[in-house]
């Protein structure tokens, strides 16, 4: 059977939000899908794939996953970076999809088989105030989630991160940070007000929902090291599963100071794109969870390298899974989650129904766990006719400014 690559197509569609999907087809008509969505910079990856990688891939053997990964990584000369690594990830995941289909197995079987019955996932809850936050948490509990990320508006700060602006009390959480507009939306930020407000919020949530609920929180890279240390210390009584991205991602040494001051577990890495970004964090055991995504960290091949390295130091996975990770990317993450030994948790921010008109999935959710399903490959199909109804629309992530107008980390 020939496994030579016949075509490489870049598919851009916007069913409720923008997605870039790579479709690789072999000479025998076996199709593999990869997610190439880089939120707010989508067309850069589309061009990288269409203009630079597709011509290199046609005629190659689709079975050569590791060789192709190294060919694209080393062959570019310009290594790493989100655009390059997202493009490589899309190719890698599409080739794994093809290989698993040819083997007539769900992908997790090729990755070593299931290490667990399902992947624990966490959902998001948020509110403009405590009562609406409680409503949001109750919705998630009713849906069956056992782990919930808590975000709340900070008094005096306009449009806080993670909180749906203007949402009516009891409305279903549908926060989508990337807004379809020619310019970024501006949000506010005040670290001092945030540090004063947050411990009381977690105290209230613990008192209301008891000790068993797994609670997470995302700081979104906004604090200095000493502020992050103080936050972790102040949240210790409320037993968080983790605090996420407490400081800007570029400086790995910042977490050494945070670690010295607090036992609140630390997760980081949604903007990381290679194992090198984790080198010191893992070796010095400065973190507890690696939060890179299969889409932005070089695919199954790249992320598995990160997970295996982390496993040497008892550090667990916590894959990034917002709405800009397409159903293809989420399916790939779930196969890896099921197979690896050092699985921690998987983020799940459910896609809008329109997205599922384009992407037909076979993953399931039950009792707080997700399972990728047992279809051969990833278990995701792409509907071209549905996709054609949703033209690309420029969309940007917000930016954050302090009260005096200074740009801050969003």
Contacts with Mg ion by CB under 5 A lie at 218, 270
Candidates 48, 145, 161, 363; catalytic one:
161
Torsion of CA 44, 245, 365, 115, to 10 degrees: 100
Strand boundaries in 153-247, DSSP class E: 186-188, 214-218, 242-244
Q: Minimum CB separation from Mg ion for residue 239, in Å?
A: 20
- For the question of residue 220 being annotated catalytic, the response is yes
Candidates 220, 320, 351, 371; catalytic one:
220
Q: Minimum CB separation from Mg ion for residue 244, in Å?
A: 5
Closer of 130 and 397 to Mg ion (Cβ): 397
Q: Minimum CB separation from Mg ion for residue 69, in Å?
A: 26
Q: Minimum CB separation from Mg ion for residue 220, in Å?
A: 6
Cβ-proximal residues to 246 (8 Å cutoff; 6+ apart), any chain: 219, 221, 223, 228, 231, 232, 255, 258, 266, 268
What is the residue-wise DSSP string for 76-122? TSS--SHHHHHHHHHHHHHHHHHHHHHTTSBHHHHTT--SSSSEEEE
Closer of 26 and 323 to Mg ion (Cβ): 323
Q: Minimum CB separation from Mg ion for residue 377, in Å?
A: 28
Of 128, 150, 127, 169, residue with least CA distance to 209: 150
Q: Is 192 exposed, middle or buried (0-12, 13-18, 19+ CB in 10 A)?
A: exposed
Closer of 19 and 289 to Mg ion (Cβ): 289
Distances (CA, A) of 113 to 10, 108, 336, 399: 30, 5, 10, 42
Closer of 218 and 288 to Mg ion (Cβ): 218
Closer of 62 and 219 to Mg ion (Cβ): 219
Residue nearest to Mg ion (CB): 218
- For the question of residue 335 being annotated catalytic, the response is no
Residues that are catalytic: 161, 220
């Amino acid at each position: 059977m020939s496994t030579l690559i016949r075509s490489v197509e870049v598919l851009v569609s916007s069913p409720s939000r923008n997605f870039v999907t790579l479709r690789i087809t072999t000479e025998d008509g076996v199709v593999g899908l990869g997610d190439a969505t880089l939120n707010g910079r989508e067309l850069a990856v589309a061009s990288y794939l269409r203009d630079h990688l597709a011509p290199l891939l046609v005629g190659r053997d689709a079975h050569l996953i590791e060789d192709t990964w190294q060919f694209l990584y080393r062959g570019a000369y310009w290594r790493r970076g989100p655009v390059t690594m997202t493009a490589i990830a899309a190719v890698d995941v599409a080739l794994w999809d093809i290989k698993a289909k040819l083997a007539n197995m769900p992908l997790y079987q090729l990755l070593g088989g299931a290490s667990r019955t399902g992947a624990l996932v966490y959902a998001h809850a948020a509110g403009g105030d405590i009562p609406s936050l409680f409503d949001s948490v109750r919705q998630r509990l009713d849906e069956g989630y056992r782990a919930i990320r808590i975000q709340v508006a900070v008094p005096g700060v306009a449009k806080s991160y993670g909180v749906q602006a203007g949402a009516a009390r009891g409305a279903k959480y549908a926060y989508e940070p990337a807004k379809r507009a020619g310019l970024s939306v501006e949000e506010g930020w005040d670290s001092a007000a945030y540090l004063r407000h947050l411990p009381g919020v977690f105290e209230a949530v613990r008192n209301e929902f008891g000790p068993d609920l797994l609670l997470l929180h995302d700081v979104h890279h906004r604090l200095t090291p000493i502020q992050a240390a103080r936050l972790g210390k102040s949240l210790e009584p409320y037993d968080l599963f983790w605090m996420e991205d407490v400081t800007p991602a570029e400086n790995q040494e910042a977490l050494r100071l945070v670690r010295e001051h607090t036992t609140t577990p630390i997760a980081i890495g949604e903007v990381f794109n290679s194992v090198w970004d984790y080198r010191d964090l893992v070796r010095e055991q400065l973190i507890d969870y690696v939060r890179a995504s299969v889409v932005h960290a070089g695919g199954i091949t790249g992320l598995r390298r990160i997970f295996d390295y982390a496993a040497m130091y008892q550090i667990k996975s916590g894959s990034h899974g917002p709405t800009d990770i397409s159903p293809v990317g989420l399916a790939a993450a779930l196969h890896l989650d099921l197979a690896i030994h050092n699985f921690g948790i998987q983020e799940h921010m459910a896609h809008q129904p329109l997205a599922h008109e384009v992407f037909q999935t076979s993953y399931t959710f039950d009792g707080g766990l997700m399972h990728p399903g047992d279809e051969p490959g990833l278990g995701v199909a792409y509907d071209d006719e549905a996709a054609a109804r949703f033209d690309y629309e420029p969309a940007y992530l917000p930016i954050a400014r302090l009260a005096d107008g200074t740009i801050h980390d969003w």
